[in-house]
Amino acid sequence: MNTPSSRKATPGRLAAITATLLVLLSPFLWLLQMSFKTNDQILQFPPPLIFTPTLEHYSALWHSAFSASFVNSLSSASLSTALALLLGVPAAYALSRWAGRGKHGLSFAILVTRMAPPIAFTIPFFLFYRWIDLLDTITGLVLVYTSFNLPLVIWMMQPFFDTIPVSLEEAALVDGARTRTVFTRIVLPMVTPGIAATAILCFLYAWNDFFFALILTRTNARTAPVAVVNFMNYEGWEWGKIAAGGSLVMAPVLIFSLAVRRYLVSGLTAGAVKG
């Protein structure tokens, strides 16, 4: 079969694709190489392209308060992911099987919560946390992250449940099994890949958050994204540490998103809560 000329992988085209990729990723690669340079090398002109990489910034970060904020990021992101899955997966199943009116209205309402700008939630949460003493705690962060991860779970999991034929469940029900058993023994095992992909996306959204952590934490629960920015404010302009910290914050994200790239689109069109 003849593919039209506009869709052939000619050598010229492959070269153009490679060049575009390099140009597009160059700002990202610049950050990466900077994290392996000494402070003198960073300020050197012209910048040395070949140099002996050093891990001094990474080890300095490891021995500083940054490691604690990294742990804060890990725990708040994992806990909010677990909570959102625990609540959201059964709800998504119910919505998928429920033929009643109000289903579309509910789905739309869930989508709207994801589209609202974070500042709309920050002000009420800040006032409420100040009142009940939840400012600067992991619990506080987990609750806020659930406000955007729970809608994401419901939105992402529903299509997975839709693909499972109802006749399969009906057969088990006729045999006398309870709906609860059918759900945990038959339906859940069939959507495990979907749950894994959803879990990773939830983790990434919580991990990527900067705005909520900036306002709702001070020192105890400070997350890694906020800690990176603090290298600019208080300890002078430590470019090496900033680059190394930035690289550490993006490492889990890069690994995980390669793992779920197939689901990235549906997860992101659910109205990305970034910012």
Partner 1 sequence: MSQSGIDGERRRFIAFALAPSLIVLFAVAVLPAIYLVVTSLTPFQLTTPGSATDFSAPLRNYALLPGDPRFVNSLAVQAKLSFWGVLFQVLFGMLLALLLNVPSRFVEFARTFFLIPMVLPPIVVAVIWKLIYTPDISPLYYAAQALHFTMPALTSSVDFALTAIIIADTWEWLPFTFLMVLAALQTIPNEYSEAALVDGASTLQIFWYVTLPFITPILVVSGMFRLIDSVKAFPLIFLLTSGGPGTVTEVTNYYAYLLAFDTNEIGYSSAVTVVMLLLVAGISLGLVWMGRRREALA
DSSP class of 47: P
* CA atoms of 43 and 35, how far apart (whole Å): 13
Kindly report the CA angle at 107 between 102 and 111, in degrees rounded to 5? 145
- Tell me the closest approach of the beta carbon of residue 47 to partner 1, in angstroms: 6
Residue entry with tokens 């994801």: 114
- Tell me the closest approach of the beta carbon of residue 146 to partner 1, in angstroms: 6
* CA atoms of 189 and 161, how far apart (whole Å): 11
Residue nearer to partner 1 on the CB measure, 55 or 109: 109
Residue nearer to partner 1 on the CB measure, 16 or 55: 16
The upper half-sphere exposure of residue 163, i.e. CA atoms within 13 Å in the direction of its Cβ, equals 9
Residue nearer to partner 1 on the CB measure, 29 or 65: 29
- Tell me the closest approach of the beta carbon of residue 137 to partner 1, in angstroms: 16
Question: Quick check: 92 and 110 in contact, CB under 8 A?
Answer: no
Amino acid at 158: Q
Name the token pair of 11: 């050598």
Question: Quick check: 198 and 153 in contact, CB under 8 A?
Answer: yes
- Tell me the closest approach of the beta carbon of residue 87 to partner 1, in angstroms: 5
Residue nearer to partner 1 on the CB measure, 60 or 103: 103
Write the burial class of residue 261 (CB in 10 Å: 0-12 exposed, 13-18 middle, 19+ buried).
Answer: exposed
- Tell me the closest approach of the beta carbon of residue 271 to partner 1, in angstroms: 7
Residue nearer to partner 1 on the CB measure, 2 or 167: 2
The upper half-sphere exposure of residue 122, i.e. CA atoms within 13 Å in the direction of its Cβ, equals 14
- Tell me the closest approach of the beta carbon of residue 183 to partner 1, in angstroms: 7
- Tell me the closest approach of the beta carbon of residue 136 to partner 1, in angstroms: 14
Closest CA to 144 of 209, 92, 229, 223: 209
Residue nearer to partner 1 on the CB measure, 52 or 249: 249
* CA atoms of 62 and 136, how far apart (whole Å): 22
Residue nearer to partner 1 on the CB measure, 64 or 97: 97
